Chain A
Amino acid sequence: MTTAPTLEDIEVQLLLEAVHRYYGYDFRNYAASSLKRRVRNFMQNEGLHTVSALQERILHDRACLDRLLLGLTVNTTSMFRDPSFYTAFREQAVPLLRTYPFIRIWHAGCSTGQEVYSMAILLQEEGIYHRCRIYATDTNEQVLQTARSGIFPLDRMQEYTQLYLKAGGKRSFSEYYTADHQNAIFRSSLKEHLVFAQHNLVTDRSFNEFNVILCRNVLIYFNHTLQQQVHQLFYNSLCKFGILGLGKQESIRFTPHETDYEEIAKGQKLYRRRN
């Protein structure tokens, strides 16, 4: 037994309905509890006391909507996040990819791009990057701009170096960027086969057929209904025997395609489409 919806719950529903009907952004099937936290944080930053007041402002002030869009999506990321995932990718997925003449990879929900550059580095070290194209997408144009630039804060490079080494990195991490004041500028050769584009997993369709789809720590923000819809989209966008990579605490259990994949690295959330 759970408690009845509060006034605030109803206000949040109305806000999401309004944002969807007026602007076309659909947050209605986001996981409720974390979404509510982010709405509250956003209200606090805007100096508003009720969700209804927030709705009023959003509907009459486009700039406020743009701030909200950033506020409702989570952009926590790092290079070689969960290094064991990258090790598993290197050992289990790369040998399979070597058999293809051309490799299309979709990194869905790439945020500011750190994981995309990590994958580019890995593929380069494995000698197959020249045969790859990585389509990196996110709903948010602002984070994509950072991703396109390939410029990240210098003060995180120490942490990234550690993760790179744990991920089985084969060279010296500092070879991949040049330091400039507060920034690390990544080598342009890493960008050669990257395509950054806006794509909304909630409302947009598939745009190609891929050998690999990576979508890590994005689906946790969706509720069950939306997760199923996106898993359907991924399944339809993967070629036969294509590879799907999810976040550390995510799984394909309870999705409509649970039995259509086999795990290729135990506990690493790397799956391969069966046929």
Chain B
Amino acid sequence: MGTSLGGLSALRTVLGSLPGHFPAPIAIVQHRHKESDHTLPCFLQQFVSLPIREVEDKDEIQPGWIYLAPADYHLLVEAGHFSLSTDDPVSYARPSIDVLFESAAEVYGSQVVGVVMTGANQDGSRGLSKLKANGGVAIVQDPRTADSPVMPEAAIASVSVNWILPLDQIAPCLIRLCNP
């Protein structure tokens, strides 16, 4: 899941609507200042029943957990665990949504669902198209319901997405997709 400007309230809505028995792991890149402290996971946790964790290097990927990219690190998916890097920013961002999506697509192929939400840049578009090319599912927040429509619009323009959904429909869609 990737968000930028306006992402806090969008994440609160989507994650807050997921039940405590949601079965899939969720990895999130939210753009933020590089010296942000650890308040974001605590803030979100008040509204969310699933456990939220800021990723430490090599954390195992476990079902029912929400993983946040730490400030100033890229978050990458490996087989069964995460890894971090401080490589140069991608699309001007570190963490970058593209980096998360591309690495997830490479390791988990058609099992990946990518969600791009509110933001004022282009990050996420390239990652979403790679994810789609590898058989994954692409969901984009309806730009009309986004605080900042630029990022969803960019994603829609460059990827043939599976769903364009108003903010309040994203969680129900994820629940349908992830409950076999």
Q: Give A residues with C-beta under 8 Å from B.
A: 1-3, 6, 31-34, 36-38, 74, 76, 217, 219-221, 224, 227, 247-251, 253-254, 267
Contact = CB atoms under 8 A, between A and B. Distances in A.
Interface string B141-170: 000000000000000000000000000000
List the 5 shortest-distance A-B pairs measured between CB atoms, nearest first. Answer: A76-B86, A34-B85, A3-B109, A33-B76, A33-B103
A1 B78 contact: no
Contacts of A38: 87
Contacts of B85: 31, 34, 37, 74, 220-221
B57 A251 contact: yes
B165 to A, nearest CB: 27
Contacts of A76: 86-88
Given A2-B108, A249-B73, A34 B58 contact: no
Contact of B79 (A2, A37, A254): A2
B74 interface: yes
B135 to A, nearest CB: 9
Contacts of A32: 78
A3 B87 contact: no
B87 to A, nearest CB: 5
A33 B70 contact: no
A220 B81 CA distance: 12
Interface string B77-118: 111100111111000000000010011001111010000000
Contacts of A219: 57
Given A33-B106, A249-B84, 15 more contacts: A2-B80, A3-B107, A31-B83, A32-B78, A33-B77, A33-B78, A36-B106, A37-B102, A74-B87, A76-B88, A217-B86, A219-B57, A220-B57, A220-B73, A220-B85
B60 to A, nearest CB: 9
Contacts of A250: 56-57
Max count, chain A CB within 10 A of own CB: residue among B55, B87, B103: B87
A267 B83 CA distance: 19
B83 A74 contact: no
Nearest to B87: A74
Max count, chain A CB within 10 A of own CB: residue among B55, B58, B77, B79: B58
8 contacts: A34-B74, A34-B76, A74-B87, A76-B88, A220-B73, A220-B86, A224-B58, A251-B56
B20 to A, nearest CB: 25
